[in-house]
Amino acid sequence: MAKAVFSVALAFALSAVPGFSQSWPEGKTSDRFDTGNGELEIVFLGHGSLILVYKGSYIYIDPVSQYGDFSKYPKADLILVTHEHGDHLDPKAIAALSKNGTRILLPEASRKKLGAGEALQHGRPLDVAGVTLLAVAAYNVTSGRMIYHPRDRLDNGYVITADSLRVYVAGDTEPIPEMANLGHVDIAFLPMNQPYTMTPEQAAAAARVIKPKILYPYHFGSTDTGALTKLLANDKKIEVRIRNLQ
């Protein structure tokens, strides 16, 4: 019974906390969430670039210089890279954010390209920087698009668990069968730009499989985010939040 009560409380906390601006450099904004054991802040840098702040640790996902002057930001405790494309893997940004003890986790193909870091294989949980990290599959499935993110390159999405709160950052992918095996997801970031990742229809279909409480379309370029909002308008269990993540 206690577990059920806590689940209800967490769902309320997620739906009740609005997005709001923080005093981050360059006018970047963030949303904050109660994990049940501290606060998780998610900072929206742009495109696929995010910061997660939890219990004093700074976790950067796909930091790219186009989306921030990283000399102005806190150094990273952990840097996650989803794949090797230049709008996700930026050696200059990684160097600017690194300090003694910074861990860089990424797919093996990206590790070879960067010449640094640790390859993180799919399905092997790792406790790092105050969270539990799980790398998951990310790839294209549509004919004509599979050249962008081939399955056999083993690119990464990430599930990041901060206490009871689970955040899924999909990386560059289309809807794939592995999404059905993610377990419960509180917050999901799904890519939505053409022709490289999902259409709004694909993103809506993926969301219905994943069932996050909050969905952020990201990496969306010129794709109409309003189309996704309309597609999920009748699904009252998924809140779509639009942020500056073109």
Residue 144 backbone dihedrals phi, psi, to 5 degrees: 90, -15
> Which CATH number goes with the domain that contains 41?
3.60.15.10
Average pLDDT over residues 27-36: 97
Residue 141, in any domain of the structure: yes
pLDDT at 7: 42
pLDDT digits (tens, 9 = 90+) for 75-133: 999 999 999 999 999 999 999 999 999 999 999 999 999 999 999 999 999 999 999 99
Residue 1, in any domain of the structure: no
pLDDT level of residue 14 (50, 70, 90 thresholds) = low
Does residue 203 carry a pLDDT above 50? yes
By three-state DSSP, how is residue 100 classified?
A: coil
Does residue 19 carry a pLDDT above 80? no
pLDDT digits (tens, 9 = 90+) for 227-244: 999 999 999 999 999 999
pLDDT digits (tens, 9 = 90+) for 67-76: 999 999 999 9
Residue 12, in any domain of the structure: no
Work out how many domains the chain is built from and give that number: 1
pLDDT digits (tens, 9 = 90+) for 132-157: 999 999 999 999 998 999 999 999 99
Average pLDDT over residues 146-171: 97
For residue 129, what are the domain limits?
17-240
Residue 86, in any domain of the structure: yes
Q: Is the Cβ–Cβ distance between 129 and 143 less than 8 Å?
A: no
The closest of 190, 59, 173 to 122, measured between CA atoms, is: 173
pLDDT level of residue 194 (50, 70, 90 thresholds) = confident
pTM, two decimal places:
0.92
The closest of 112, 153, 162, 154 to 133, measured between CA atoms, is: 162
Q: Which range is least confidently modeled, 9-23, 31-45, 197-211?
A: 9-23
pLDDT at 2: 39
Residue 246, in any domain of the structure: no
Residue 190, in any domain of the structure: yes
pLDDT at 12: 38
Residue 37, in any domain of the structure: yes
Angle at 128 between CA 123 and CA 133, to 5 degrees: 30
pLDDT level of residue 35 (50, 70, 90 thresholds) = very high
Q: What is the DSSP letter of 180?
A: G
Residue 77, in any domain of the structure: yes
Pull the structure tokens for residue 18.
Answer: 């609005």
pLDDT at 23: 86
Q: Is the Cβ–Cβ distance between 125 and 132 less than 8 Å?
A: yes
pLDDT at 33: 98
Does residue 4 carry a pLDDT above 90? no
